[in-house]
Amino acid sequence: MLWVALHLPQLSLQALPWSRAGLETLLPVAVVEQHRLLGANRAARALGVHVGQSVATALALLLQLVVQPRDEARERAFVATLALALAALTPKLNLQASGVLLEVRASLRLFGGVRCLLRRAQAIAHDCGAHVRLACAPTASAAWLLATSGSVRRRTLQSSHCARQLDRIPLGALDALLPLTPRQTELLQALGVQRLGELRALPRAGLQRRLGRALATTLDRAYGDASDPRPWFAPPERFEARRELLQRADDAAVLVAAIGALLPALGGWLQLHWHAATVLSLRLRHEHRREPVPDTVLRLQLSTPSRDIAQLALLWRERLQRHALAAPVYELILALEASVAHGGTPGELLPTAGGEGQGHAALLDRLVARLGPERVLRFEPLADHRPERAQRGVPVTETLRVPAEPPPGAPPRPAWLLEPPQPLASDALGRPLHGGLLRLCSRAERIEAGWFDGGLARRDYHVAEGSDHRLRWVYRERRADAPGNQGGWFLHGWFG
């Protein structure tokens, strides 16, 4: 087995209401518990604030320091969201109080080896807005010790090399696995034990009698001398993730960045369930002013199921850039409303027609997100012979009730119809003119319909070519009151 540990060294700070710019550059922020600072961001540390100070001392040094109480429920939710995002690498995850453990032996070949997989895990954590310390080892406890102890060498694949690395770890790092009691700490100090290797070298019977069997078992599990069973992370049945903003957002750029931190978790959820998204919703909770402002709900309906996080991020960006906010936003909730079973797409050496179809679907989704579903239409055929009433435009997100393919042997139809048809002049012989004399390229196609609804149409249609060699769709009216039943010419459409 091979385990990868991702430790969040300042989880209490990272789980605060999210705003990357505010946490890292603009506002000095600190997290407090029992009047002591548990964490401080870069801006606060640069001005003299550090972990362990009392709140009174920190505020005396920095009056503009933003003090936030610790929220353990928010921390657990942050770790669970990170675990969902990391599910894109492996389904075998184990949650810790301040991080995630991944068993990745079966995933190494898929991602190109240990180095590529670690870089991928680091990138996923960064996309989620998390700053992590990574380590890998043959056992879960060893990987966690290497990640939490701040060891210089945090990557070891062989058991013998792992044992040498663990021997150098200070004894205080053992608190990450099993917190020592004051009595145990005093006894080990009296014995002069400072590192795990020295503790492991003590006689086994005396170690268990004086320090307890739990400590010896913990050491055996870290060194691989005993089994280390761990419960696997079970994803929720329904995906919903929320992000509270530290600063009220009134522009789309901040919201796009916040959604980008939630989408990796969505991607991991979809892969764990072998699903692809079809309908997503985003609820924007607004800041209340004099009058309460109702939440804004935006929906994103995909033309084809997808779990491509980059594509979804692009669609949400297009959707938010054209939406005017009713009021500043302080929280957003991303939910998956509908999904379908999806086993993934096999890799291809050469592009195929299926790949081109996926690109076309992605283009349609982007146009819908940018322009709105009411402005991106496709044609649905109707049971009427009159061309202007033989089809209607429906949003591309709707399912066609009737197949759009023409019946076999049907005469050609242009994609661009003029509304209303444009009258044409004719020469002395009754031939149509449009920038010159038109040459009729087809026999007449007679259409007579509409007597049942008062919109009678009696026409003879032709494909005509002009002097510019462009093909037009023209017709000549048939009128009972005209000589020879022949009326005027009209231009009704253009061929591509």
- What are 453-495's pLDDT values in tens digits? 888 889 999 999 999 999 999 999 987 666 666 788 999 999 9
pLDDT of the residue at 344? 64
Q: Which two three-digit tokens encode residue 303?
A: 């033309």
CA pseudo-torsion sign 116, 121, 126, 128: positive
Rounded mean pLDDT of 95-117? Answer: 92
Of residues 361 and 79, the one with the higher pLDDT is 79
Mean pLDDT comparison of 39-48, 86-95, 169-178, 295-304, highest-scoring range: 86-95
pLDDT of residue 153 exceeding 60, the answer is yes
Higher pLDDT: 160 or 80? It is 80
For residue 356, is pLDDT > 60? no
Lowest mean pLDDT among 74-83, 115-124, 473-482: 473-482
Confidence of residue 406 (pLDDT cuts 50, 70, 90): low
* pLDDT at residue 8 greater than cutoff 50: yes
Stretch 342-369: mean pLDDT: 68
Q: What percent of the chain has pLDDT over 90?
A: 34
Q: What is the pLDDT of residue 352?
A: 57
- Answer whether residue 19 shows pLDDT above 50: no
CA 282 – CA 260 distance, rounded (Å): 12
- What is the mean predicted confidence (pLDDT) over 66-87? 91
Quote the radius of gyration of the chain (alpha carbons, Å). 34
Residue 138 has pLDDT above 90, yes or no: yes
Rounded alpha-carbon distances, angstroms, from residue 157 to 60, 197, 220, 230, 302: 48, 19, 18, 20, 43
| More confidently predicted of 50 and 344 | 50
pLDDT tens string 234-272: 999 999 999 888 777 888 888 888 899 899 999 999 999
Determine the pLDDT at residue 185.
85
- pLDDT of 433: 93
Q: Is the pLDDT of residue 339 over 60?
A: yes
Which pLDDT band holds residue 87 (cuts at 50, 70, 90)?
very high
- Mean pLDDT score of the chain: 86
Nearest 5°: the CA angle 21, 24, 25 is 70
